[in-house]
């Protein structure tokens, strides 16, 4: 059985699942698993909450995975550099750091965290040249009271971290594995509001490819819990699965008055 831990995610991530483990931890309590697999890692909220002993964690964002790897190896160096960013933070400093290219792993990891905490809504977006281009946000806290990079390093110590396509990772799942899947919420016809952040990275064809990979993993005996958009195209895609609707607060809108309760679906295999 998985046990809830106290490690707090250190990143803010669009579509992150802190709310899921906070409000619905019971979904995971009965999961018996030999290995935890997460192909779309993001802020790793579910992984940090469950603290599985054996895990395969993946994300297509290689900068994100390098940040996790660097904290695991050099948490104190990353924290020290982040504190320097904290003392220097300003609008001018933000854009200078956004344009910078640190040469050391710890420098790149600290820059990644700094930009995540001070950019607009914690978004990760790059232009066609692969350059981070999210503008500065309203948050000014670079060092947080919840920071515990030593604990994060310990949590990551024995896990496998990869930066590859989701299908490669899901195809490794077998009997005894628990796969938690939280893909970008692309829907058919591209009419959902979240699409502007991820369409070039995750298309409807990817959603279909994901479904096929998950069915293959389920046929090999893996247990799967998938989150996705509450949309008719998603419900049709997974019509043969058990689907549950959950409410949550939407925080993606730039103005607070646009933020409202929305729904997502949980799909079980």
Q: If DSSP states are collapsed to H, E and C, what string results for 172-217?
A: CCCCCEEEEECCCCCCHHHCCHHHHHCCCCCCHHHHHHHHHHHHHH
| CATH number of this structure's domain 63-154, picked from the four choices 1.10.1020.10, 1.10.600.10, 1.20.120.330, 1.10.240.10 | 1.10.1020.10
Q: Please give the model's pTM, rounded to 2 decimal places.
A: 0.91
The strands making up 35-38's β-sheet, listed across from edge to edge, are 160-162, 55-58, 35-38, 177-181, 223-229, 261-268, 242-249
Give the pairing of strands 261-268 and 242-249.
Answer: antiparallel
Q: Residues, the chain, total?
A: 269
Q: What are phi and psi of 179, to 5 degrees?
A: -110, 115
For the domain 18-60+164-268, what is the CATH code?
3.40.50.150
Q: Do domains 18-60+164-268 and 63-154 have the same CATH topology?
A: no
Boundaries of every domain in the chain: 18-60+164-268, 63-154
Per-residue model confidence as pLDDT tens for the chain (269 residues)? 455 567 999 999 988 999 999 999 998 877 767 899 999 999 999 999 999 989 999 999 999 999 999 999 999 999 999 999 999 999 999 999 999 999 999 999 999 999 999 999 999 988 888 899 999 999 999 999 999 999 999 999 999 999 999 999 999 999 999 999 999 988 876 544 444 444 457 889 999 999 999 999 999 999 999 999 999 999 999 999 999 999 987 655 555 545 578 899 999 98
């Amino acid at each position: 059985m998985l046990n809830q831990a106290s490690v707090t995610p250190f990143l803010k991530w669009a579509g992150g699942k802190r709310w899921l483990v906070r409000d619905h931890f019971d979904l995971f309590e009965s999961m018996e698993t030999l290995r935890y697999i997460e192909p779309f890692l993001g802020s790793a909220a579910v992984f940090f909450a469950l603290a599985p002993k054996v895990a395969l964690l993946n994300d297509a964002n290689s900068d994100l995975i390098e940040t996790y790897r660097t904290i695991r190896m050099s948490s104190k160096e990353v924290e020290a550099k982040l504190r320097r960013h904290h003392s220097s933070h300003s609008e001018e400093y933000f854009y200078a750091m956004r344009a910078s290219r640190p040469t050391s792993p710890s420098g790149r990891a600290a820059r990644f965290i700094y930009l995540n905490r001070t950019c607009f809504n914690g978004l990760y977006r790059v232009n066609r040249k692969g350059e981070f281009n999210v503008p500065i946000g309203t948050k000014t806290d670079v060092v947080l009271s919840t920071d515990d990079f030593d604990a994060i390093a310990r949590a990551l110590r024995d896990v496998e971290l990869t930066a590859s396509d989701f299908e490669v990772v899901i195809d490794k799942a077998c009997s005894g594995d628990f796969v938690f899947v939280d893909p970008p919420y692309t829907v058919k016809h591209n009419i959902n509001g979240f699409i502007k952040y991820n369409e070039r990275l995750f298309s409807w064809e990817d959603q279909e490819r994901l479904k096929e990979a998950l069915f293959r993993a389920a046929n090999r005996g893996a247990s799967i819990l998938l989150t996705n958009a509450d949309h008719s195209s998603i419900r049709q895609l997974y019509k043969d699965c058990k689907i549950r609707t959950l409410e949550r607060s939407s925080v993606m809108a730039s103005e607070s008055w646009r933020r409202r309760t929305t729904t997502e679906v949980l799909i079980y295999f």
